[in-house]
A and B are shown apart, each in its own frame.
Chain A
Amino acid sequence: MEIIQSAKPLYAIAAALLSVLPICVSGEKRKNLREFWTIIASLMTFAIVTSMVPEILNGNTLEYAVITIVPGLELKFRVDALSILFAETASFLWIATSFYSIGYMRALKERAQTRFFSYFAVAMAGAMGVAFSANLFTLFLFYEVITFSTFPLVAHKETPQAIRSSRIYLVYIFGASVLFLLFAIFLTYAVAGTLEFSSGGVFAGEGVKVSNAVLTVIFVLFIAGLAKSAMIPFHGWLPAAMVAPTPVSALLHAVVVVKAGVFSVIRVVLYIFGIDLLSQLGLGIVLVYFASFTIIVASIMALRQDNLKARLAYSTISQLSYIILGVALLTPNGIAGGIIHIAVHAFSKITLFFAAGAIYVAQHKTRVSELNGIAKQMPFTMIAFTIGSLSMIGLPPTSGFISKWYLFFGSIEAHQMSIIIVLLASMVLNAFYFLPIVYAAFFKELPPGEKAERDEAPAFMVVPIMITAIGTLALLFWPSLFFELAGMVVASVTGGN
């Protein structure tokens, strides 16, 4: 275990951020060149993140302090197993999404594509920043980078509905972060004297003398402030944000934005408060119950959605709470399950969103009730959709089963038998809102007048769909990287070796 000084995290952020320049310079007239830069940026980011993996697996931590603005406010990066797991997932899926976006945006002749690709790259830079933050200040900074770079992406179509949705988006996310998150950060600094993440929590130090009530308030403020994690009642922005173009929904609202939210929750739970303090305060279990409530209620809401993307959005709300639930159980298997679900859900849900976008591009259909027989036209897309659905339910042979498996044992370790019921109920609910889509697509008749001819979206879209779908399957059989990383996180926060 040693700390290595390395600027690699900064490079990863820079690779994403700086690509904005050539993208803007290339502009609408030199489309191919512009898209070339997007691809290069995503590949470079992924390569830099990947180059850090061996060091992390050796048990080392990478650190890089950029600047201290005033004492206490330090822009500083630290790369540990948790960072890598999130950054690796997000940057890999960015590559797939880049290709997919090209197919999607061109097929639909979307407007303002330069703006789209620019802000997309900024959002990714923000995600890398969140992943590599060493303290709450840095995290907050990049968290807001994500907020403001995705705002124009939600408003992209500039229709009245898009504008309204983007306003809701900003009010929820920015509002919550200023009102609650920033407040919580102030209080944390006031109480603990530091904002630096540490595996035992920051409130455990010698000089910290503060009542449990204050700590509870801080915790509640954090959870409320991190609205990107979309726990009920802070979930309203996510279905609204579905007005954005599908690549945005796919990568940002199924992976980057929401995972930045749950990632921050994990940082707060494990690295600001720490397992011991939370179990002593009994707050972990409160969070578990809130997450359970979200899991069930969001699934029931999903059942009622006819718009495919809205259904997926509610599913995301529900699935994100699996991650929070696992971590909040504060037991080794629970934490591992939650963390692995970051990757599992990312691959599965991006597959589903990709499929939804492909259906829109190829058949101009957005509603679940319009999907009868669509597999006859789009077999590859719907096979991928089926794999994603099975993974959401948590059925083998898809990777969704792995996180469920760990969460079950995590609940047993925490002596929370009721959570097993919640997980089973959620599996059943998921089956109820995903399987009818699959069934209708494969076995119902096409609407009259439509031909059962192969009519897929462009290859630029279908190939990424197949890749993420294969990833969804493969994670079950070759998950060793993610397991190892999750195991390291567990070891560090539980004081293991």
Chain B
Amino acid sequence: MMEAQLTVVNSILPLLAVVIPLIAAVIIPWLDDAGGNWFTALAAAASLVVILMMYPYIHAGNALEKVFDTGAMIRFSFMADSLSFLVGLISVFLWMLASVYGVEYMRKEHAQGRYNIFSLLSLAGMLGVVFTKNLFTLYIFFELLSIASYVMVVHEETREAKSAGLTYIAMGIGGGLFLLLSIIATYAITGTGDLSMIGVGLTGHPLMPFIFFGYLIGFGVKAGIFPVHVWLPTAHPVAPSPASALLSGVMINAGAYGILRTVFAITGSSITNTLPMGKTLLVIAVITMFLGSFLAIVQTDIKRLLAYSSIAQMGYIVLGASLLSPLGLIGAVIHIFHHALMKGTLFLVAGAFIHQTGLRKVDDLRGIGRRMPLTMTCFSMAALSMIGVPPFVGFISKWYLAIGALQSETRGILAPGGGVVIIGFLLLSSLLNAIYYGPLIVRGWLGAPEENINTVLNNSHSSRVSMPGNRNEDPRWVMLVPLFILALSTLGFGIFPQLSVGLAKAVASFYFYGGH
């Protein structure tokens, strides 16, 4: 199935998208804090423009490519196909909005220059992972992402942040070593690291299961899948809120993307040989889904709740991949896109709560909708989408995952009745989502504001803590506009899912029908 090739167009656009944030990172030290914040957003916007310029090619079914040979075994190659395009697009889109939001949110923070530099380096790492054609380049940018995002995690430099950062970097480097081993084994066995060609050489090789697990662990750490998720619930919430949104909405996808790429590069060549891997993935996915959701229910801190929710959502993506069916893959791919929109919105809203009122305990957020109606509207939209209510994007993801499960059953990948069981899991998971998102919406609008506001956590944004009053406490437009754009996207892409689904279909047809 892998023989079919996309028409390849030589283009520097994918490289350009990666290089822009790198260059911007070098310029940041010469700007003041406010200028640096705007400049970061501007650099992301420039990358966004470059990525949008790829669309005509991608839409026409082409892949863009730029290859540099620097030595016998060293080849930097940059590439964009429909999967890269979709993940890259949502990455810079969210990055741009989070950076605009950061202009206001980060205003009182320390070390803003450092934050912006490492934000841009992380963006370059993320885009490098996505817009590459071979494993060598991928690994380099993957490590850049790990190291640069560490600085975003520990930004607050509190004891909590440092200890979360330590777990994060230790697991990141450890996972990176597994990844490196697998990559080296792949090159040694297949003689190539080209993402579209490694499958053929690996299939049937006795080391293949080990290599597969190396990839799963290496990418899984970033994606936060069970059992290498343990760093995520501490690291994502301790970062400043725009960084949390990027960690949980975008950077987590570097892992998911890597899993999709390697799984389908390997399974694409022969589904029957790789069924055990699919089964293993399925088990991991289901555990991840339920573990994340169950732990989210008991969280009292809103950002930690959102972090556990991210783990659960990564379970969906891996589930879609494990189904080994075209519709399942579509579900996985669009959920990367959708989850980024939803989780980006939710973390930015949580940040707005914290920034405006200093409140971050779930219990304290009763009646917050009366104080911050616009912000709470955004939260409600994204949360409803998370639960899977139509016509929000979350529903579209679940729909494709469900019919993907059925397709998987008809294709003989799941045992008879397996599709229905998977749908049962999906519904159960939706129920769990409703259990922890539902009360947030209901109490946020209807609950009586807490009388005892003294429980407010002390943090750098608590200076504006105030008793609930009639005054509207929604944040300034700089924060509100990105929130609304994102929240409306969760609705808009749900009603008009053609863009994401169309691209995902191209991905599926590439991996399952050789591009036809």
Q: Does chain A bind chain B?
A: yes
Q: Which residues of A contact B (CB under 8 A)?
A: 333, 336, 390, 395-397, 401-402, 405-406, 408-409, 412, 420, 424, 427-428, 431, 435, 443, 476-480, 483-484, 486-487
- The answer to whether A409 and B73 have CB atoms under 8 Å apart is yes
Kindly list chain A residues whose C-beta atoms are within 8 Å of the C-beta of B177. 424, 427-428
Report if B290 contacts A (CB, 8 A): no
Q: Report the Cα distance A8→B120, complex, angstroms.
A: 47
Q: Report the Cα distance A476→B71, complex, angstroms.
A: 11
- The answer to whether A390 and B74 have CB atoms under 8 Å apart is no
Segment with Cβ contacts to A, from B5-13, B87-95, B140-148, B446-454: B140-148
- The answer to whether A396 and B70 have CB atoms under 8 Å apart is no
Residue of chain B at shortest CB distance from A408:
B184
Q: A395-B173, A397-B140 are in contact. Are A483 and B181 (CB under 8 A)?
A: no
- The answer to whether B72 and A483 have CB atoms under 8 Å apart is yes
Q: Report the Cα distance A396→B135, complex, angstroms.
A: 13
Q: Report the Cα distance A402→B142, complex, angstroms.
A: 15
Q: Choose one: B141, B147, B157, B188; the contact of A409 (CB below 8 Å).
A: B188
Q: Report the Cα distance A484→B76, complex, angstroms.
A: 16
Q: A336-B72, A483-B71, A487-B72 are in contact. Are A401 and B140 (CB under 8 A)?
A: yes
Kindly list chain B residues whose C-beta atoms are within 8 Å of the C-beta of A431. 173
Nearest Cβ distance between residue B137 and chain A, in whole angstroms? 10
Q: Report the Cα distance A93→B169, complex, angstroms.
A: 33
- The answer to whether B144 and A396 have CB atoms under 8 Å apart is yes
Q: Report the Cα distance A225→B183, complex, angstroms.
A: 39
What are 13 A-B pairs with beta-carbon distances under 8 A?
A333-B72, A395-B173, A396-B142, A397-B140, A405-B73, A405-B184, A409-B188, A412-B188, A420-B184, A443-B162, A480-B71, A483-B71, A483-B74
> Which of A397, A420, A424, A480 has its CB near the most chain B CB atoms (within 10 A)?
A397
Please, what's the 1-or-0 string for B163-181, where 1 marks a CB less than 8 Å from any CB in chain A?
0000001000100110011
Q: Choose one: A401, A409, A428, A483; the contact of B70 (CB below 8 Å).
A: A483
- The answer to whether A405 and B154 have CB atoms under 8 Å apart is no
- The answer to whether B73 and A333 have CB atoms under 8 Å apart is yes
Residue of chain B at shortest CB distance from A412:
B188
Q: Report the Cα distance A395→B143, complex, angstroms.
A: 7
Kindly list chain A residues whose C-beta atoms are within 8 Å of the C-beta of B294. none
Q: Choose one: A397, A402, A427; the contact of B74 (CB below 8 Å).
A: A402
Kindly list chain A residues whose C-beta atoms are within 8 Å of the C-beta of B140. 396-397, 401, 476
Kindly list chain A residues whose C-beta atoms are within 8 Å of the C-beta of B173. 395, 431
- The answer to whether A396 and B139 have CB atoms under 8 Å apart is yes
Please, what's the 1-or-0 string for B458-482, where 1 marks a CB less than 8 Å from any CB in chain A?
0000000000000000000000000
> Which of A401, A405, A420 has its CB near the most chain B CB atoms (within 10 A)?
A405
Q: Which residues of B contact A (CB under 8 A)?
A: 70-74, 76, 136, 139-144, 147, 154, 157, 162, 169, 173, 176-177, 180-181, 184, 187-188
- The answer to whether A405 and B162 have CB atoms under 8 Å apart is no
Given A401-B143, A412-B188, 6 more pairs with CB closer than 8 A = A402-B74, A409-B184, A409-B188, A424-B181, A443-B157, A477-B76
Residue of chain A at shortest CB distance from B125:
A397
- The answer to whether B74 and A396 have CB atoms under 8 Å apart is no
- The answer to whether A405 and B147 have CB atoms under 8 Å apart is no
Q: Report the Cα distance A226→B152, complex, angstroms.
A: 47
Kindly list chain A residues whose C-beta atoms are within 8 Å of the C-beta of B71. 336, 479-480, 483-484, 486-487
- The answer to whether B72 and A420 have CB atoms under 8 Å apart is no
Kindly list chain A residues whose C-beta atoms are within 8 Å of the C-beta of B142. 396
Q: Report the Cα distance A252→B162, complex, angstroms.
A: 38
- The answer to whether B70 and A480 have CB atoms under 8 Å apart is yes
- The answer to whether A412 and B72 have CB atoms under 8 Å apart is no
Q: Report the Cα distance A396→B173, complex, angstroms.
A: 11
Q: Choose one: A397, A420, A424; the contact of B143 (CB below 8 Å).
A: A397
Q: Report the Cα distance A442→B169, complex, angstroms.
A: 15
> Which of B136, B141, B177, B180 has its CB near the most chain A CB atoms (within 10 A)?
B180
Q: Report the Cα distance A484→B144, complex, angstroms.
A: 26
Q: Report the Cα distance A428→B174, complex, angstroms.
A: 9
- The answer to whether B184 and A397 have CB atoms under 8 Å apart is no
Kindly list chain A residues whose C-beta atoms are within 8 Å of the C-beta of B72. 333, 336, 483, 487
> Which of A408, A476, A478, A484 has its CB near the most chain B CB atoms (within 10 A)?
A408
Q: Choose one: B70, B136, B154, B162; the contact of A478 (CB below 8 Å).
A: B70
Q: Report the Cα distance A408→B73, complex, angstroms.
A: 12
Kindly list chain B residues whose C-beta atoms are within 8 Å of the C-beta of A427. 177
Q: Choose one: B136, B143, B169, B181; the contact of A405 (CB below 8 Å).
A: B136
Kindly list chain A residues whose C-beta atoms are within 8 Å of the C-beta of B181. 420, 424
Nearest Cβ distance between residue B197 and chain A, in whole angstroms? 18
Residue of chain B at shortest CB distance from A336:
B72
Kindly list chain A residues whose C-beta atoms are within 8 Å of the C-beta of B136. 405
Q: Report the Cα distance A131→B169, complex, angstroms.
A: 41
Kindly list chain B residues whose C-beta atoms are within 8 Å of the C-beta of A390. 147
Kindly list chain A residues whose C-beta atoms are within 8 Å of the C-beta of B144. 396-397
Nearest Cβ distance between residue A422 and chain B, in whole angstroms? 13
Give the 10 A-B CB pairs with smallest separation, nearest first: A483-B71, A396-B140, A396-B143, A412-B188, A408-B184, A397-B144, A395-B143, A397-B140, A480-B70, A479-B70
Q: Report the Cα distance A210→B169, complex, angstroms.
A: 56
Kindly list chain B residues whose C-beta atoms are within 8 Å of the C-beta of A443. 154, 157, 162
Nearest Cβ distance between residue B123 and chain A, in whole angstroms? 14
Q: Report the Cα distance A10→B489, complex, angstroms.
A: 71
Nearest Cβ distance between residue A325 and chain B, in whole angstroms? 16
> Which of B74, B76, B147, B177 has its CB near the most chain A CB atoms (within 10 A)?
B74
Kindly list chain B residues whose C-beta atoms are within 8 Å of the C-beta of A435. 169
Nearest Cβ distance between residue A118 and chain B, in whole angstroms? 39
- The answer to whether B147 and A395 have CB atoms under 8 Å apart is yes
Q: Report the Cα distance A163→B181, complex, angstroms.
A: 47
Kindly list chain B residues whose C-beta atoms are within 8 Å of the C-beta of A408. 180, 184
Nearest Cβ distance between residue B466 and chain A, in whole angstroms? 32
Kindly list chain B residues whose C-beta atoms are within 8 Å of the C-beta of A486. 71
Nearest Cβ distance between residue A494 and chain B, in whole angstroms? 12
Q: Report the Cα distance A477→B144, complex, angstroms.
A: 14
Q: Report the Cα distance A443→B169, complex, angstroms.
A: 14
Q: Report the Cα distance A406→B72, complex, angstroms.
A: 10
Nearest Cβ distance between residue B147 and chain A, in whole angstroms? 7
Kindly list chain A residues whose C-beta atoms are within 8 Å of the C-beta of B184. 405, 408-409, 412, 420
Q: A395-B147, A396-B140 are in contact. Are A405 and B74 (CB under 8 A)?
A: yes
Residue of chain A at shortest CB distance from B117:
A383
Nearest Cβ distance between residue A391 and chain B, in whole angstroms? 12
Nearest Cβ distance between residue B154 and chain A, in whole angstroms? 6
Kindly list chain B residues whose C-beta atoms are within 8 Å of the C-beta of A397. 140-141, 143-144
Residue of chain B at shortest CB distance from A413:
B188
Kindly list chain B residues whose C-beta atoms are within 8 Å of the C-beta of A424. 177, 181
Q: Report the Cα distance A476→B147, complex, angstroms.
A: 17
Q: Report the Cα distance A483→B188, complex, angstroms.
A: 20
Nearest Cβ distance between residue A400 and chain B, in whole angstroms? 11
Q: Report the Cα distance A473→B233, complex, angstroms.
A: 33
Kindly list chain A residues whose C-beta atoms are within 8 Å of the C-beta of B141. 396-397
Residue of chain A at shortest CB distance from B121:
A397
Q: Report the Cα distance A149→B76, complex, angstroms.
A: 43
Kindly list chain B residues whose C-beta atoms are within 8 Å of the C-beta of A480. 70-71
Kindly list chain B residues whose C-beta atoms are within 8 Å of the C-beta of A483. 70-72, 74
Q: Report the Cα distance A390→B76, complex, angstroms.
A: 20
Q: Report the Cα distance A479→B188, complex, angstroms.
A: 22
Residue of chain A at shortest CB distance from B128:
A397
Nearest Cβ distance between residue B514 and chain A, in whole angstroms? 31
Kindly list chain B residues whose C-beta atoms are within 8 Å of the C-beta of A336. 71-72
Nearest Cβ distance between residue A429 and chain B, in whole angstroms? 12
Kindly list chain A residues whose C-beta atoms are within 8 Å of the C-beta of B76. 477
Q: Report the Cα distance A244→B360, complex, angstroms.
A: 56
Nearest Cβ distance between residue B111 and chain A, in whole angstroms? 10
Kindly list chain A residues whose C-beta atoms are within 8 Å of the C-beta of B180. 408
Kindly list chain A residues whose C-beta atoms are within 8 Å of the C-beta of B139. 396
Q: Report the Cα distance A396→B162, complex, angstroms.
A: 23
Q: Report the Cα distance A424→B139, complex, angstroms.
A: 16
Q: Choose one: B74, B147, B162, B187; the contact of A479 (CB below 8 Å).
A: B74
Residue of chain A at shortest CB distance from B174:
A428
Q: Choose one: B73, B176, B188; the contact of A406 (CB below 8 Å).
A: B73
